[in-house]
Structure 1
Amino acid sequence: MGLPIIGHSLSLLHAMRANKGEAWFHERIRKYGPISKLSLFGTPTVFLHGQAANIFIYTCDSKTFSNQQPASMRRVCGEKNILELSGKDHKRIRGSLVSFLKPEALKQYVGRWTKLESTWRCVGMAKMRSTIRNEDNSALLSDEEIEDNAVIIMIGGYDTSSILLTFLIRLLANEPSIYAAIVQEQEEIAKSKALGELLTWDDLTKMCTWRVAMETLKDNPSWVLFLQGASMTHMDERIFPNPSKINPTKFEQQAPAPPYCFVAFRGGPRMCPGYEFARIETLAMIHYLVTQVTCKLSCIDDSFCRDPMPAFNWGYQFILNQRNLMV
């Protein structure tokens, strides 16, 4: 269990700050196997690794395994946020979130999100509020549930999306062949549009760019919610041959990864409700970025650490130059 009180906290934090978290996990698996006990931040912890571990975490019921975040997380996000809930409460809250984040709801907004209004007005909203229910007509969400999950959505949608886009741009800057392929794909889409015509849902579904985003997530998972070694399956040679090699084609639909092995967005009943939203946001951003500007890194050192989210040691700067092709 490590040192008294401190446990393994310092060694893990040191490894993460040096961006050697993967090596830390590998060493632990080598010494103790895929399941072991340790102590982190004063809390007894179980380390789990592998596809079977991911299936257990993401599919078991609340009687077998209950979700609980660190006390500091609960103080910030509240006791009723979706990450804290299990069973019927989790299903009810998730159903409410998915109702406006599912593809059917999102596709009507693709191409319309050209600006965000500072204020919104909906006549009769106060009267309509009493009739708002989940799809299964279950009980209304309490004010506490709404507040806590609004906070968790803001936190979950901020760092995760920005980190994915940042590391995706980093990958494109370091891999000219992949960058050229994405530019070609996005230019073909842009040239098929009339002047002023915006992206559509069909455009997004045809983009192979998402494979590159998934490759980015494989190498740089943005968030680890429990010490299950979830992202270690991303680097398992038995699942992904040559996992350290950048190869977006491994995510082609013709050869999908085994279930619960690629868990950048978690899985099963615990699948991130904002998965489709993140996909739309990423693809739209990359489309307009590569078709309207060229990016060139201006920083020599692009190393990063985790504290706990990935952060570049010296910032991440690049030069933008406008292109002639406009959408």
Structure 2
Amino acid sequence: MSANDNAPVEAGARDDRLGGGSDSTVARQIALDGALWLVGRNFPVFPADHPGTGACTGMHRVCDGSRGKHPCVPFTREHTVDEARTRRWFGGQLRNVAVALGACSGPDEGRLLVVDSDRPGAIEDTAALLGHRHTTTMRVRTAKGHHDYYWAPASARLGNGLGALRGHFDGDIRSGNAYVIGPGSLHVTGVLYALEDPGQPPVPAPAWLLTALLHSAGRPAPATSRVAPLQATQKGLRSLVRFVLQAAPGERNNRLFWAACRAAEGGAANADRALVEAAVAVGLDEGAAAATVRSAYHRGGGTQ
């Protein structure tokens, strides 16, 4: 079987046949294709609620409104890589496809780790700002960003904690007894979860990411995941300024505060002016921007 056989819809190919999710026959086929693609690569799957049904089909008593994500079975026990069972689950009823992460076993008994970015490029930005390069791996596009699938050592015992990435990454981590919605599924907004490249398998998680996740937040981060001192090079400062300049309305102040915290941690005593100017360029008030930077420097223990 080639890498693309039975592959679900690829990223960028929002399937017009769905008609916004109203065509349940087509939606079932797309979900089934996604489920078969996953089990064909030994990813255990189970059914989750689909936003195209009239009411939530999740196991909970009362839906919290998060349609399309609730498990329909006790997934830590009920999941499968069996093709026949997969066809029964997804071929005859409208369900989203979910992946039982704790049941996945990869090379050298590796466990599946999914980095859930809440915006496009979030993990790339975090890697760059921590002095590393993002490692390309299996990626599923989501409604807000993307899921990056990695293999982590079983001995790492990862869960859903962000570790030292807390406050440094726009997203979440999923591992252990957790699950993610997989390719072929439909988000409540009408966006398909879609593979970016069906031929790209998960790769081993990079050392910097594992180090950060295993480190407790609130303690000084180990040297492998610290921001390099910005006074030694202007490259780090340029990255922080660019991060602020790329902010969209509604996220400008948060990005400014995040960038200023990183500048303070890196010892960039003269970065405040550049960050304030970047914030003003994207529409923030100069006085408010300066106050945000001062607050970040105070929190990070830096000087201005």
TM-score, with structure 1 as normaliser: 0.26
More helix per residue? 1
TM-score, with structure 2 as normaliser: 0.27
User: RCO greater where, 1 or 2, for CA within 8 Å and sep 6 or more?
Assistant: 1
